[in-house]
Structure formats: structure tokens, C-alpha cells
Amino acid sequence: MKPIGELQMNGQKYLGGTFTFPGTTITVHRMGYGAMQLAGPHVFGPPKDVDAAAAVLCEAVESGVNHIDTSDFYGPHVTNQIIKQALASL
């Protein structure tokens, strides 16, 4: 395990450091993004402003987030479509 607060290339710290999945070479930053709130009110339907929701996700990824917690039940299916659109532009 790497130390808490490992530095990114731009000098910022990764909150919580990194984690490598046992038996793999896959490493993620411990601080991820929970996509549940990308959906509309009460996690149902689209958000009021899809572009703003996508911008929040892009900002998270640009800040170093490299794993996203999501589910087809959020929206349902709404958050995964927002994630797909937002990340396609990066």
C-alpha cells in the first residue's frame, strides 16, 4: 500500500492515497466519485441541468478521481448516460 497523501504529478495530494486490487496491477485512488446524485430528485429521472451534472463529473475526474461508483438503478439508467457523455469529451 502506498502512503496516505501520495502526490499527483501536478503537486496536489490524492486524498487517502491509492489502492491496488490484490492479485492485479489495477491501482485506483482511494477517493472516488459517487454518481448517485447525478440523477434527478430522489435519485429518479434526469437532473434539472444535465450539462451541470456532467461538468461536476468532469471536474472530479480532472481533480484525480479515477473510479466512479454507479448503478443502472440511479435514474434508472440516467447516471450511466451522463457519465458516458461527460467522459467521452475528456
CB 90 within 8 A of CB 58: yes
Banded model confidence at residue 76, pLDDT cuts 50, 70, 90: very high
**Interval 9-43: pLDDT, tens:** 555 566 678 899 999 999 998 889 999 999 999 99
- Which one of 38, 74, 79, 86 is the catalytic residue? 74
Is 33 considered catalytic here? no
pLDDT of residue 21: 94
Domains of the chain, residue spans: 1-31, 32-88
pLDDT of residue 64: 84
Tell me the C-alpha to C-alpha distance, in Å, between residue 16 and each of 49, 55, 79: 31, 24, 25
pTM of the model as a whole: 0.75
pLDDT of residue 31: 87
